[in-house]
């Protein structure tokens, strides 16, 4: 079936370095993607989103890249800080199908080493 998944379950990064978290999706009809951050004991928190007609979008210290050719999404975090330690989920929606629910990937745990 169609799914959203992640390449790596864990990622350890030195404080100050850049982090790259990857996500693969298989539904070619997906037209909207979101990255969520989930800290321990908390619900998912929106980080950044991107439409399928874009290939890059930048926020504060975060950049999302979308490669529709290979159905790949990535989240780049610049100058990673200890507060960035969390599980990161990509999620997709097919807006053309109406009010579709978020489909989450399994998550990547980011650990920042001080």
Partner 1 sequence: EPEVTQTPSHQVTQMGQEVILRCVPISNHLYFYWYRQILGQKVEFLVSFYNNEISEKSEIFDDQFSVERPDGSNFTLKIRSTKLEDSAMYFCASSRTTTGLNTEAFFGQGTRLTVV
Q: Please tell me whether residue 41 binds partner 1 under the rule CB under 8 A.
A: yes
In the block, tokens 């989920």 appear at: 89
Size of the site for partner 1 (CB under 8 A): 24
Give the shortest CB-31-to-partner 1 separation in angstroms.
Answer: 8
21, 25, 77, 105: residue in contact with partner 1 (rule CB under 8 A): 105
Q: Please tell me whether residue 22 binds partner 1 under the rule CB under 8 A.
A: no
Q: Which segment (10-18, 60-68, 74-82, 94-102) binds partner 1 by CB under 8 A? A: 94-102
Q: Please tell me whether residue 32 binds partner 1 under the rule CB under 8 A.
A: yes
- Give the integer Cα–Cα distance in Å for 54 and 96: 16
Whether 48 and 54 have beta carbons less than 8 Å apart is answered as no
Q: Please tell me whether residue 74 binds partner 1 under the rule CB under 8 A.
A: no
Question: What's the angle, vertex CA 1, arms to CA 103 and CA 69, rounded to 5?
Answer: 75
Whether 9 and 105 have beta carbons less than 8 Å apart is answered as no
């Amino acid at each position: 079936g169609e799914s959203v998944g992640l390449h790596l379950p864990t990622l350890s990064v030195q404080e100050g370095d850049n982090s790259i978290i990857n996500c693969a999706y298989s539904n070619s009809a997906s037209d909207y993607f979101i990255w969520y951050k989930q800290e321990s004991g908390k619900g998912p928190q929106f980080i950044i989103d991107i439409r399928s007609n874009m290939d890059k979008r930048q926020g504060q210290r975060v950049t999302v890249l979308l490669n529709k050719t290979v159905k790949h999404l990535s989240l780049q975090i610049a100058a990673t800080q200890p507060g960035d330690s969390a599980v990161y989920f990509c999620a997709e929606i097919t807006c053309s199908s109406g009010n579709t629910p978020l489909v989450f990937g399994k998550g990547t745990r980011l650990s920042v080493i001080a």
